[in-house]
Amino acid sequence: MSNVKRKSGEKISSDLSKMATLAKAFTAASDWPDKDEFLDVIYWFRQIIGLVIGIAWGIVPIKGLLGIVLFFAVNMAVIYVYFSIFQKVDEEDYGGISEILKEGLMTSFATFLVAWIIVYSALYAD
Amino acid sequence: MIADTLLILFISIVTALLGEGLTWILVYRMEKYKKLKSEVEKQSKKLEKQKEAIGTEASERSLKKKLERQEEKLKTNNRDLSMVKMKSMFAIGFAFTALLSMFNSIFDGRVVARLPFVPISWLQSISHRNLLGEDYTDCSFIFLYILCTMSIRQNIQKILGFAPSRAANKQGSGFFSTPTPVGK
């Protein structure tokens, strides 16, 4: 019984911690004492950007190398604006700008390709 | 065609969940694995902090020697961690290769999606695998499945908390890593 209570207590505190992280992510110039927490926010933000861009490129449609180049450009630009202007984070705390810019990039690219292919196929394939 | 596309996405999600589920049963829930993983993460973080410190202070031979010893210890723990995972991962890998072969034969010769780009030449052998014709925007099962898995598996691991920490990744993990140089 105490085990069940302990586990449900842990779950509640984990949920509260996630909500606190989410609130900080949407608040300008938040304080990020845990570097991994901020990088997790960047990671998930990137996945959402990849999904949104993939869906958008599939609907328009944007095709070819242009689509891929634009994905990287938009993705990097949005993340850069988010961490340097909105959150005002010092990239040196994270080992340089490249560490933040590459966080979750390849997985986001895979997510983008999947979304792009599926939406494009659904709308424009024979 | 879209039905095939969505089916492959669904298969990818199910196999990723199944893979992580099996790995949890055979590997992640083992006390030895949990202990080793926690040791590796603690040591990695400690080593990272100490490497940063050695870059800003005057280098001392004894401090560097201490770091080298800690790196060796971390390398040993990483190796032990890999050994714990290896047998189970082989079994899971074997099972999933069989599963993949089955799906491959089901979707053999079928165009499952239309690519909005023409893949580069060396990727065409995967994206246009066993498909008729010269239209390289035709997508085969294996290409779409690989892309779905790359996206979905990584995200599922992160959601479930099975992904290794960044500090552990930086210090290298597994058999084939070389230790990062001490000092800058």
Contact B150 A106 (CB under 8 A): yes
B24-45 pLDDT, tens digit per residue, is 888 888 888 888 888 888 887 7
Phi, psi (5° rounding) for residue B139?
A: -110, 135
% pLDDT > 90, chain A: 52
Q: Are A108 and A44 in contact (CB under 8 A)?
A: no
Considering the entire predicted model, what is its pTM?
0.82
Q: SS3 letters for chain A?
A: CHHHHHHHHHHHHHHHHHHHHHHHHCCCCCCCCCHHHHHHHHHHHHHHHHHHHHHHHHHCCCCHHHHHHHHHHHHHHHHHHHHHHHCCCCHHHHCCHHHHHCCCHHHHHHHHHHHHHHHHHHHHCC
Chain A positions contacting chain B at CB under 8 Å are 36, 39-40, 43, 47, 57-58, 61-65, 67-68, 106-107, 110-111, 113-114, 116-118, 120-122, 124-126
Quick check: helix, strand or coil at residue B131? Answer: coil
Q: Does B5 touch chain A (CB under 8 A)?
A: yes
Of B140, B115, B107, B108, give the one whose Cα is nearest residue B126: B140
Contact A117 B139 (CB under 8 A): yes
Smallest Cβ–Cβ distance between A113 and the set B5, B6, B147 belongs to B147
Per-position DSSP letters for B75-120, written without gaps between them = HHHHHHHHHHHHHHHHHHHHHHHHHHHHHHHHTTT---EE-SSPPP
**Chosen from A113, A123, A124, A126 to mutate, greatest number of chain B CBs within 10 A:** A113
Question: Is B177's pLDDT higher than 60?
Answer: no
Contact B117 A63 (CB under 8 A): yes
% pLDDT > 90, chain B: 32
Quick check: helix, strand or coil at residue B163? Answer: coil
Which of chain A's residues have a Cβ under 8 Å away from the Cβ of B155? 47, 107, 111
Question: Is B174's pLDDT higher than 90?
Answer: no
Contact A121 B117 (CB under 8 A): no
Contact B147 A106 (CB under 8 A): no
How far, in Å, CA of B52 to CA of B182, rounded?
Answer: 10
Phi, psi (5° rounding) for residue B113?
A: -160, 165
Contact A62 B116 (CB under 8 A): yes
Task: Tell me the β-bridge partners of B138.
Answer: B114
Mean pLDDT across B168-182: 50
Residues ≥6 apart with Cβ < 8 Å to B68:
B182
How far, in Å, CA of B66 to CA of B53, rounded?
Answer: 13
Per-residue confidence in pLDDT tens, chain A, 126 aa: 566 666 666 677 777 788 888 888 988 888 888 888 899 999 999 999 999 999 999 999 999 999 999 999 999 999 999 989 998 888 888 878 888 888 899 999 999 999 999 999 999 986
Mean pLDDT across B53-65: 64
